[in-house]
Amino acid sequence: RSVKASPVKSHAITECYPIRRSSRKTKSLIKKELADEIINAVQSKYEGDLEIVEFKDKGRGVVAKRSFTRGEYVVEYAGDLISWHEAKSRESEYALDTSVGCYMYYFNARNTNYCIDATAESDRLGRLLNHSRRTPNCLTRLVWVPTLDNPNKELPHLVIVAKRDIDQGEELTYDYGDRDKSAVEVHPWLKS
């Protein structure tokens, strides 16, 4: 907003009419505000609008306690941010215990391969969203978030956002994206 360049004092306008800010926003401003909202949400770690529900065929899952609009931040896929090298080493350890589920999320950001390992039980809920290939209502997005101790340093985070408008009470799901034939054979639910 170019308050300084305006010949009219801003307080004179706001006293008479509420400024319809949304109609004045440029696309890049809206984009920046959405990005800032996501950064704030990641830093606050707020997850109060979600609840854990036990499903007969999937184990725990996460259900929306309020509605979400398309594109809105839902939750972070929080865990340990590690290199692919470290991830492979941890995976071979996890493979020894068949009771350990799949909580490794591999991705590439700014030309570096990373993995979020959310295998360890924690109070964070992103790790509990189940998979849906056919009808996911969420999707994951990569965001770079400044660290709290050094605002000049950014780290990649995976956030889960609403793919479409979501009603209160819906189970939240996203597509894990694993199309590997042998993985689908071992985990037939990857087709669902």
* Residues 159, 42 contacting (CB under 8 angstroms): yes
Interaction between residue 60 and ligand SAM (CB under 6 A): yes
Nearer to ligand SAM, 91 or 154 (CB): 91
Q: Which stretch binds ligand SAM (CB under 6 A): 83-91, 109-117, 127-135, 141-149?
A: 127-135
- Burial pattern 128-159, b for ≥16 Cβ within 10 A else e, equals bbbbbbeebbbbbeebebeeeeeeeeeebbbb
Interaction between residue 127 and ligand SAM (CB under 6 A): yes
Q: Which stretch binds ligand SAM (CB under 6 A): 17-25, 87-95, 123-131, 135-143?
A: 123-131
Q: Which helix (H) or strand (E) holds 75?
A: strand 73-76
Write each residue from 75 to 114 as x if it is in contact with ligand SAM (CB under 6 A), else as -, in one continuous string.
--------------------------xxx-----------
Which residue from 81, 163, 156 is spatially nearest to 129, judged by alpha carbons? 163
Q: How many CA atoms lie within 13 A of 96 on its CB side?
A: 4
Nearer to ligand SAM, 39 or 128 (CB): 128
Nearer to ligand SAM, 39 or 190 (CB): 190
Q: CA distances (Å), 189 to each of 57, 85, 176, in order?
A: 10, 27, 11
Q: Closest residue (Cβ) to ligand SAM?
A: 59
* Residues 105, 158 contacting (CB under 8 angstroms): yes
Q: Which stretch binds ligand SAM (CB under 6 A): 24-32, 40-48, 124-132, 143-151?
A: 124-132
Q: What residues line the site for ligand SAM (CB under 6 A)? A: 57-61, 101-103, 127-128, 130-132, 189, 192
